[in-house]
Structures are given as structure tokens and as C-alpha cells.
Amino acid sequence: MAISVSISHITPITLFYLLLLLLLSSTITTTTTTSALNITSILSSFQNLTSFSSLLCSTSVAPDLTRRDPVTLLAVPNSYLSTSPSSDLTRRLPPSSLGDILRYHVLLQYFSWSDLRQIPPSGVLVTTLLQTTGRVHSNFGAVNITRDPLTNSITIQSPAPFSPSNVTVLSLIKTLPYNITILAVDSLLVPYDFNLLASETRPPLGLNITKALIDGHNFNVAASMLAASGVVDEFEADEGGAGITLFVPTDDAFGDLPGNVKLQSLPADKKAVVLKFHVLHSYYPLGSLESIVNPVQPTLATEDNGAGSFTLNISRVNGSVAIDTGIVQASVTQTVFDQNPVAIFGVSKVLLPREIFGKDSAGVTSKPGNAVVGTTVQPPETSPSPENSAGFSGPASHLSSPPGFREEITSKGGRYRMQSCIVTVCCIGLVLVV
Ligand SMILES: *[C@@H]1O[C@H](CO)[C@@H](O)[C@H](O)[C@H]1NC(C)=O
Ligand SMILES: *[C@@H]1O[C@H](CO)[C@@H](O)[C@H](O)[C@H]1NC(C)=O
Ligand SMILES: *[C@@H]1O[C@H](CO)[C@@H](O)[C@H](O)[C@H]1NC(C)=O
Ligand SMILES: *[C@@H]1O[C@H](CO)[C@@H](O)[C@H](O)[C@H]1NC(C)=O
Ligand SMILES: *[C@@H]1O[C@H](CO)[C@@H](O)[C@H](O)[C@H]1NC(C)=O
Ligand SMILES: *[C@@H]1O[C@H](CO)[C@@H](O)[C@H](O)[C@H]1NC(C)=O
Ligand SMILES: *[C@@H]1O[C@H](CO)[C@@H](O)[C@H](O)[C@H]1NC(C)=O
Ligand SMILES: CC(=O)N[C@H]1CO[C@H](CO)[C@@H](O)[C@@H]1O
């Protein structure tokens, strides 16, 4: 965005415009960086991490990382990765096992350098991406970070007593507060009791999801929608990697949809987005869902539409797992299928994304007096999408005042909506001044 203003033309109004442009461009920058936490490109500027970076790609762990922040990544520099014991692991293990070991290097918490300096000698327990796969026992997918108070040296190892593998932090490579920190460590860290052989020989499940749903009797509508839209092939392809978790509405749930929700008449691409909104890109057995650390979970629809959108809020309510889309509250009613790496749960309601079915969105034809979907009434989407943040020059079209700030301004992405609200309010002010 090049701004050239000759001095003679600077008037209070021009200044006002400049101020607005500044505000707006800061909004745009933060928005683009949110959706672009690309670990491969961050690591590419470090010559001594090229091998580790290519391992992340060859084991398909890198794409898992774009959907996770905040994270602290334990990276092994080339010189350490090429020597024993790390080199033995990279040479010996198949990509699936190596992928799980690398997931153990992704801590699901942001640590600044000073946070690390304040770690107590008794240590802190931090969950890793490996824990979310359900492929480890108890909390062996977590790490215990300890600091020696005398030398300040930081050691990371499994919380299991007598775990043989440990790593020492060498240096801070990079930190982007409060999303990602990359630390150099002196070796690959092997999770305790990690059954290298088991994941090595884990056969591809090759589950036919449509058939599993038809066999579950209660899921015929979902089964036919999945098969007709073709997304089921995509889900089955995702059975590798970190696995998948599907929430499948019962036939009753489809029957109970309010009359103003025209799910079947959505265009095919939107219908596919709604279906992908029912799937998490990790294997979560019921126990993991019940104790989920991060309630707001990205879905497969998030991957196509950008970080912060199409998320599900998963929590434990009244002893069962509740799923909140912002406009629909559903609960998990049964386990249809659970075999690592695929979990399929029945849910009591169709999970309607507020991005499509929120008030004033295209998916709902609202008739006054008709039943409102869910309980919360959503103001129209005001987050700066590429079209309306870039095209600021055409003022009139985007200057409508939102009826109010969104309720969940603490959630991810909320801050940008807040910012855009401020911009909108400023714009209205400007129009009044002019
Ligand atoms: C990340 O960046 C690399 C190049 O820097 C590119 O090849 C890759 O496709 C990007 N990945 C994503 C998920 O954007
Ligand atoms: C890796 O390279 C970066 C600069 O590119 C440097 O700051 C860092 O100390 C190096 N780390 C190791 C462990 O060699
Ligand atoms: C972490 O390690 C420290 C030092 O070995 C130990 O005292 C502490 O109990 C460990 N914490 C956990 C949760 O395992
Ligand atoms: C880490 O491992 C090394 C070698 O296996 C061992 O000598 C050292 O005591 C371990 N450190 C801790 C803190 O467990
Ligand atoms: C999956 O099962 C359904 C229903 O039994 C069947 O129509 C479909 O052909 C199967 N798909 C594959 C890839 O075998
Ligand atoms: C998620 O849902 C729970 C229970 O409904 C609620 O307490 C919590 O505030 C929600 N969190 C977010 C970020 O929406
Ligand atoms: C939880 O249980 C209480 C009492 O049985 C009930 O009033 C409430 O509506 C339930 N909440 C949800 C979210 O199901
Ligand atoms: C690159 C990135 O994701 N940046 C985000 C880090 O987190 C803060 C909020 O904690 C956001 O404002 C940034 O956009």
C-alpha cells in the first residue's frame, strides 16, 4: 500500500485519512500473520535447521503446526541431528514413528526466554502434540521442563520416572510472542514407553467411514450426505498422520433442524464446508475429549477458511462432552467407532457453523417469528476479510455500523473484529466530520 501525499495537500482531513489508513493497515498485518504461521518458511531462514525442517515435512508434521498456536518447538540443529543417538532414530524409523517423535517436540504452550528462566527446579509439565494423537499412555505425551538453579541450564524429559531420554536447551532460535518459540535442543527426545515397533507396524486402518455409519443404524442421513459430497474420501485419506475425529449428527438431529435452516439446498461447496466442520484433524478418544486442554478446536473447515474461523468449543458439561458452535449446543451421545487413528462420535445436533448459519448469513432464510437456531444471536460478521479490508478506497459500502461488539471478543480472532469495529466507528466519525 503506497501512500504518497505532497506536503501542500496535508489538511486535517488528510491527516484523519492517514490515521485511519494506519489503523487499517495494522489490522491487515495482524490478520495476515495469523493465518500464516508457516513453520517451514520460519525455519527456512536458519541454515542450521534445514535437516530438522525437512524431517517435519517428510513426516507431514509441518501442516499440523499451522493449525496450532501457541507452540514452543524443540528443534534439533543439523550437527546434532546427524550424530548418535538422533541419527540412529532418523535412519531406522519409518515416517509414521518419526512423525510421532517429532510431535513430541511440539509443546502446546508458548514460552518466552524469560518464562524459561523462571521455571522452578521442580519443573513444569507441558502437553505436546503427541498427547493429542491418543497414541501414548497416560501423560507420557507431556514433557517435564526443569531448570538447574545453579547453571540455569534447562532440561526437558518425559515426566515418567527413570525415563532414559532427555535433552538440554542450547539456545533460543526465534520467538514470535505469543504464538511460537523455537528452541535449539541437543538431541531428539524419545517419549517414555514409546512403542517404536507398534507405530512402525501399525497397519493403515483403511476404514470405510460410510459403511461404519450405516452399520451404526442411526446415521443414514449423515452417511448419504458424506458419500454424495465426496468429502468422505478426503476424511479417509486423513486416517494417516495424526488421525481424525468425526462428530456425526444422528438422523433425529437432522429431523430436528429448524425450518429456516436449508441445509440440503446449500451449494455443494458450502455443504462440504459444513461437513468438514464436523471433523477434527487429530484422533481424540472420548477420554481425551473429556479432558481437552484447549477448548476451542480447529476443524477441517478451518484449514480451508483460515485460522480462527470454523472452530468448535469442546467442553465437559453435566458429565458429557458438549460441543458449542456459537449458535448450536450439541452433546456427544455415543461412540460409533474408536480405533486409533479414527474416532467417530454420534452428536445430538447438526453442528451449524455461525460463519454460514449465523444471523444474516446466506444459509438461513429468516422468517420473522420463526424459531431461532441456538440461543445466542450473532451480529453480522465484521472481521476484515480480504475484500473489505483491502478495498478501503470505496467508502460507502462497508460503513454500516454493527449492532454491537461480538460477545466472544476474548476468543481468537475476536481482537481483529474488535479492531475492525473500531475502524468502522472511526469511519462513521469521519463521514460525520466530512
Ligand atoms: C509454507 O511455506 C513453504 C515455502 O516457504 C511452502 O512451500 C509451503 O507450501 C507453505 N505451507 C503452507 C501450509 O502454507
Ligand atoms: C543456528 O543459527 C542461528 C542463526 O542462523 C544462530 O542464532 C543459532 O545460535 C544457531 N544455533 C546453533 C545451535 O548452532
Ligand atoms: C519434573 O522433574 C523434577 C526433577 O527431576 C521432579 O522433581 C518433578 O517431580 C518432575 N515433575 C513431574 C510432574 O514429573
Ligand atoms: C540426561 O541423560 C544423560 C545421558 O543419558 C544422563 O547422563 C543425565 O543424567 C540425564 N539428565 C537428567 C537431568 O536426567
Ligand atoms: C464403503 O461402503 C459403502 C456402503 O457399504 C459402499 O457403497 C462403498 O462403495 C464403500 N467404499 C469403498 C471405497 O469401499
Ligand atoms: C466454551 O464452552 C464452555 C461451556 O459451554 C464455556 O464455559 C466457555 O466459555 C466457552 N469458551 C469459549 C472460548 O467460547
Ligand atoms: C445440566 O444439568 C442441569 C440439571 O440436570 C440442567 O438444568 C442443565 O440444563 C444441563 N445443562 C446442559 C448444558 O445440558
Ligand atoms: C503470527 C501470529 O499468529 N501472530 C499472532 C500471535 O498471537 C497474537 C495474540 O496473542 C496475535 O495478535 C498475532 O496475530
pLDDT in tens, the chain (434 residues): 444 444 445 455 554 454 444 444 444 444 334 445 788 899 999 999 999 999 998 888 888 887 777 899 999 999 999 888 888 788 777 777 888 899 999 999 999 999 999 999 899 999 999 988 877 878 889 999 999 999 999 999 999 887 888 999 999 999 999 899 999 999 999 998 776 545 444 555 678 889 889 888 899 999 999 989 888 888 877 776 567 899 999 999 999 999 888 888 899 999 999 999 999 988 788 877 887 767 888 899 988 888 889 999 999 888 889 999 999 999 999 999 888 778 899 999 999 999 999 875 554 544 433 333 433 333 333 333 333 333 333 333 333 333 333 333 333 333 344 444 344 443 344 444 44
Which residue has cell 429468516? Answer: 366
Give the C-alpha separation, 50 to 306, whole Å: 27
Backbone angles phi, psi at 46, to 5 degrees: -115, 110
Tell whether ligand 4 has an atom less than 6 A from the beta carbon of residue 165: no
Tell whether ligand 2 has an atom less than 6 A from the beta carbon of residue 76: no
- For ligand 7, atom 14, the nearest C-alpha belongs to 318
Q: Of 424, 425, 415, give the one whose Cα is nearest residue 30.
A: 415
Give the C-alpha separation, 3 to 21, whole Å: 9
Q: Of 28, 29, 115, 25, give the one whose Cα is nearest residue 70.
A: 115
Which residue has cell 548418535? Answer: 84
Tell whether ligand 8 has an atom less than 6 A from the beta carbon of residue 37: yes
Q: Are 146 and 155 in contact (CB under 8 A)?
A: yes
Q: Which amino acid is at 418?
A: M
pTM of the model: 0.49
Tell whether ligand 8 has an atom less than 6 A from the beta carbon of residue 66: no
Has domain 203-384 been given CATH number 2.40.40.20? Answer: no
Give span(s): CATH 2.30.180.10, the chain.
39-200, 203-384
Fold of 39-200: FAS1 domain (2.30.180)
- For ligand 2, atom 10, the nearest C-alpha belongs to 48
- For ligand 7, atom 9, the nearest C-alpha belongs to 318
Report which bound ligand comes closest to the CA of 307: 8
Atom of ligand 2 nearest to the CA of 170: 13
Q: Which amino acid is at 419?
A: Q
Residue 202 C-alpha to ligand 7 middle, in angstroms? Answer: 41
Report which bound ligand comes closest to the CA of 168: 4
Give the C-alpha separation, 101 to 139, whole Å: 15
Give the C-alpha separation, 253 to 255, whole Å: 5
Residue 370 C-alpha to ligand 1 middle, in angstroms? Answer: 46
Give Dmax (Cα) for the chain. Answer: 76
Residue 182 C-alpha to ligand 2 middle, in angstroms? Answer: 11
Neighbouring C-alpha atoms within 13 Å toward the C-beta of 333: 16
Atom of ligand 6 nearest to the CA of 329: 5
Report which bound ligand comes closest to the CA of 75: 2
Tell whether ligand 2 has an atom less than 6 A from the beta carbon of residue 182: no
Give the C-alpha separation, 421 to 423, whole Å: 5
Residue 64 C-alpha to ligand 2 middle, in angstroms? Answer: 24
- For ligand 5, atom 5, the nearest C-alpha belongs to 211
Tell whether ligand 3 has an atom less than 6 A from the beta carbon of residue 383: no
Q: Looking at residue 103, what is its pLDDT?
A: 93
What's the full length of the chain, in residues? 434
Tell whether ligand 3 has an atom less than 6 A from the beta carbon of residue 146: yes
Tell whether ligand 8 has an atom less than 6 A from the beta carbon of residue 411: no
Report which bound ligand comes closest to the CA of 220: 5
Sheet holding 180-185, edge to edge: 106-107, 71-75, 180-185, 166-176, 154-157, 142-147, 124-127
Tell whether ligand 2 has an atom less than 6 A from the beta carbon of residue 172: no
From 156, 166, 185, the mutation candidate for ligand 4 (largest count of ligand atoms within 8 A of CB) is 166
Atom of ligand 4 nearest to the CA of 146: 13
Tell whether ligand 7 has an atom less than 6 A from the beta carbon of residue 317: yes
The set of protein residues with a Cβ atom below 6 angstroms from ligand 5 is 208, 210-211, 214
Report which bound ligand comes closest to the CA of 348: 7
Report which bound ligand comes closest to the CA of 173: 2
Q: 34: which 3 cell numbers?
A: 495469523
Give the C-alpha separation, 352 to 190, whole Å: 40
Q: Looking at residue 401, what is its pLDDT?
A: 30
Q: 182: which 3 cell numbers?
A: 523455537
| Residue 5 CB partners (closer than 8 Å, separation 6+) | 14, 18
Tell whether ligand 2 has an atom less than 6 A from the beta carbon of residue 184: yes
Q: Read out DSSP for 360-376?
A: T-TTB---TTSPPSSSP
